[in-house]
């Protein structure tokens, strides 16, 4: 009888242990999968009235995004910048004027960068910025290659991380491009065989000539949600995630 009871107890304990291990395994597996698909929505060339329309969509979808702003427009539209901040979106430097002439030399480029940084300091009471985006991206063809390298190296030496993208909806290729075309551009890029879908940074624009972008945004967000993406802003990036973005060449691509 004792041996029978011992046998029953042993079975019960084994079942409990096996069940516990299974639950832990499932829990660990869910943690692994929790962050395996992350998307960053980014908007360049604001703040403008278009920015307000973008903010409405983001509010409706309960999503945080990142805005790379133009310093001159911040001076013209400080209240819009304030609204971006109040809604807890990320605000990063883009440029002060967005003139191609800023790429004539590294010195001229960094004079422009210091201007936009100072404007943000004045409006946000924030002095430390990790992330920024170069006009045209880090592989822009505007400057000479040697100048571009000096600029990228200069950003790194200043402790900055320059941010690129792996999907563009091509909304800066014209003025108020039809919504259908923007969605088509997104779908084509998203379905590219060469795309690493674990981390997506989408380039969009909220400038005055991008009034159709907010109208396409809802459809894009719906598509990403259906695919199980987690939405993040750059303010939500921790050290581990930053290293992942660097490894995938979405940040500091050439350094």
Q: Could you report the per-residue pLDDT of 101-158, keeping only the tens digit for each?
A: 999 999 999 999 999 999 999 999 876 789 999 999 999 999 999 999 999 999 999 9
Region 39-58: mean pLDDT is 99
Shared domain for 208 and 143, answered yes or no, is yes
pLDDT band at 45 (very low <50, low <70, confident <90, very high): very high
Rounded Cα distance between 93 and 95, Å, is: 6
Shared domain for 90 and 161, answered yes or no, is yes
- Residue of higher predicted confidence among 10 and 209: 209
Rounded Cα distance between 41 and 48, Å, is: 17
Shared domain for 25 and 119, answered yes or no, is no
Shared domain for 111 and 10, answered yes or no, is no
Burial class (CB in 10 A: 0-12, 13-18, 19+), 137: middle
Shared domain for 41 and 21, answered yes or no, is no
Shared domain for 14 and 89, answered yes or no, is no
Residue 88 lies in a domain: yes
pLDDT at 35: 60
Shared domain for 27 and 71, answered yes or no, is no
Domain range for 18 is 1-31
Rounded Cα distance between 215 and 113, Å, is: 31
CATH code at position 222: 3.20.20.370
pLDDT at 129: 81
User: What's the number of CA atoms in the CB half-sphere (13 Å) around residue 27?
Assistant: 6
Shared domain for 17 and 67, answered yes or no, is no
Shared domain for 58 and 86, answered yes or no, is yes
- Tens digit of each residue's pLDDT (9 = 90 or more) over 58-96: 999 999 999 999 999 999 999 999 999 999 999 999 999
Residue 252 lies in a domain: no
Shared domain for 17 and 61, answered yes or no, is no
Shared domain for 3 and 93, answered yes or no, is no
Residue 116 lies in a domain: yes
Shared domain for 50 and 26, answered yes or no, is no
Residue 113 lies in a domain: yes
* pTM as predicted: 0.86
pLDDT at 96: 98
- 85 neighbors 91 (Cβ within 8 angstroms): yes
- Please tell me the total count of domains within the chain: 2
Taking CA atoms, 154 is separated from 4, 104, 129, in Å, by 76, 15, 15
- Tens digit of each residue's pLDDT (9 = 90 or more) over 189-245: 999 999 999 999 999 999 999 999 999 999 999 999 999 999 999 999 999 999 999
């Amino acid at each position: 009888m004792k041996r029978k009871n011992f046998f029953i107890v042993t079975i019960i304990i084994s079942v409990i242990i096996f069940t516990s291990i299974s639950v832990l395994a499932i829990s660990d597996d869910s943690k692994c999968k929790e962050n395996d698909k992350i998307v960053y929505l980014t908007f360049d060339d604001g703040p403008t009235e278009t920015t307000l329309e973008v903010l409405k969509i983001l509010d409706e979808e309960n999503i945080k995004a990142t805005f790379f702003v133009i310093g001159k427009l911040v001076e013209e539209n400080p209240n819009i910048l304030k609204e971006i901040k109040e809604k807890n979106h990320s605000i990063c430097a883009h440029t002060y004027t967005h003139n191609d002439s800023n790429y004539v030399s590294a010195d001229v480029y960094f004079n422009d960068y210091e201007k936009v940084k100072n404007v943000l300091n004045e409006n946000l009471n924030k002095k430390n910025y990790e992330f920024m985006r170069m006009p045209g991206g880090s592989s822009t063809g505007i400057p000479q290659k040697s100048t571009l390298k000096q600029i990228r190296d200069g950003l790194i030496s200043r402790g900055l991380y320059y941010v690129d993208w792996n999907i563009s909806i091509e909304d800066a290729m014209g003025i108020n491009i039809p919504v259908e075309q923007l969605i088509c551009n997104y779908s084509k890029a998203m379905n590219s065989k060469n795309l690493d879908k674990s981390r997506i940074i989408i380039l969009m624009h909220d400038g005055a000539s991008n009034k159709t972008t907010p109208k396409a945004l809802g459809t894009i967000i719906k598509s990403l949600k259906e695919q199980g993406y987690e939405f993040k802003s750059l303010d939500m990036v921790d050290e581990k995630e930053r290293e992942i973005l660097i490894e995938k060449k979405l940040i500091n691509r050439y350094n």
